[in-house]
Amino acid sequence: MQTEPSNEVAAIVDSLKGAIHEKVVVNWLWPAIIVGGAVVLGLVIERVILARLRKLADRTEWQGDEIIIDALRGIITTLLVIIGLFFASYSLPIHPSWLALLHKVLKVLLILCGTVALSRMAVGFARLSSVGAEGEIKSASILVYIARASVYLIGVLIILQSLGVSITPLLTALGVGGLAVALALQDTLSNLFAGIHVLASRKVRPGDYIRLETGQEGNVVDISWRTTTIKAPANHLIIVPNTRVASSIVLDFDQPDRETIVVIGLGVGYDSDLGKVERVTIDVAKAVLTEIDGGVPTFEPVVRFTEFGDYAIKFNVILRSRQFGDQFLLKHEFIRRIHERYCKEGIVIPYPVREIVTRGDKS
C-alpha cells in the first residue's frame, strides 16, 4: 500500500521534468537555430557571393563597385544576425518589458551597422574623388574626416530619433555652440575651408609635384583639415598651412599633363659643322629616350640653336620625361653619352675663353 503513492509521485515528477525539458527545447532551441542559420547564411554570402562579385568588380574600370563591395564585408553577417535575433526574440520566455528593451537595442545595432557601411562607402568615394595624377587613389585626409564625421553624425541623430529623443533642441544648441566655436577657431576653420577649396578646384591633387612661390617644392603627400604636407626631393616633409597653398602662386608640374619637357643647354666651337652637330645630338637624344626608364620613346627630340656666345655657338636640346622626377636621370645619361659621342665624332665643346686687354703705363 505504501509503494503506490510513491509511484504516483515519481510519475508526476517525471511528467514535470518532461514538460520543462520540452518547454526549454521549444523556447531556446528554435531561437538558437534561427541565429545559427543567420550566421551561416551571412558567411556564405560574404565568402562566396561577395568574393565572386569582387572578382567581377576587378575587371571593370569604375572603382566604385569595389568600394561598395569592400564596405559590405563583415556588415552582412552582422545584419543577418541582428535580424535573426529580432525574430528569435519572440520565442524567448522573457517579460514583455525586457523584450521591448531588447528590440530597441537591436534597432540601435541595426542603425549602427548601416552607419558603418555608409561611412566606409563615403570614405572610399572621398578618396576616389582625389585620384592622383597617374590614376591611383591618393590620400586626402580632409575629405576622409569630413565624410566619416558627417555619416556618423547623421547616424547618431537617427538613433536618438528612433529612441524617442527630440533632436530639435540638440540641433539648436549645436547651432549656438557652433557659432561660438567658429569665432574662437577662425584660423583653424579658414585652413579647413581652404583645404576644401583646394581639393574641390582640383588645382592641386595629392601626388602632384608642385613648387610654391616661396621656393619649396616636392610631391603633395596629404591635404588634411589644417595643413598640406609636401615631401621634398631630399626626403623631408614640408608642412604648409592650407591658406598659404590656396592664396600663393603654385607651379604644378603634373597638370595638365604629367609628362615634362627637359631642356639641356650645350655649346660647340665656331668651326663645328652645325648640321653634323644636330644629327649626332638628335641620335644620342633618341637613344636616351628609348633606353632609359623615365623617357618618352615616342617623343621626337629637338635641337634649337639660340645664340652666338662669347666662345661657343649655344643651343638647347629638348627631351621629354614621363614625370618631373625622371628628368634628373635623363639629364645625367644624356650628358654622359653626348660627351662620349662628341669625342668620337671630333666635335669640340670649347672651354670658356675670355680675352683680357690691359692698358700700358703712360709714364
Amino acid sitting at position 236 = H
Helices and strands (H, E) in the chain, number of each type: 12, 8
- How does pLDDT run along the chain (363 residues), one tens digit per residue? 445 555 554 555 455 445 445 555 556 777 788 888 888 888 888 888 888 888 888 888 787 888 888 888 888 888 888 888 888 887 777 778 888 888 888 889 999 999 999 988 888 887 776 554 444 545 567 778 888 888 888 888 888 888 887 777 766 766 666 666 666 567 777 888 888 888 777 778 888 888 988 888 898 888 887 888 899 888 889 999 988 888 888 888 888 888 889 999 999 999 899 999 999 999 999 999 999 988 999 999 999 999 998 889 999 999 999 988 888 999 999 999 999 999 999 998 888 766 676 776 554
pLDDT tens for each residue of 148-200 = 888 888 888 888 888 887 777 766 766 666 666 666 567 777 888 888 888 77
Interval 268-294: pLDDT, tens:
999 899 999 999 999 999 999 999 988
Q: What share of the chain is helix, strand, coil (3-state, %, to 5)?
A: 60, 15, 25
Cα separation of 138 and 146, whole Å?
16
Cell digits for 195? Answer: 583645404
**Long-range pairs, 17-26, Cβ under 8 A, ≥24:** 23/93, 26/91
The CATH number given to 260-345 is 3.30.70.100
Are 66 and 30 contacting, i.e. CB atoms less than 8 angstroms apart? no
For the chain, domain boundaries: 3-137, 138-254, 260-345
Domain 138-254 has CATH 2.30.30.60: yes
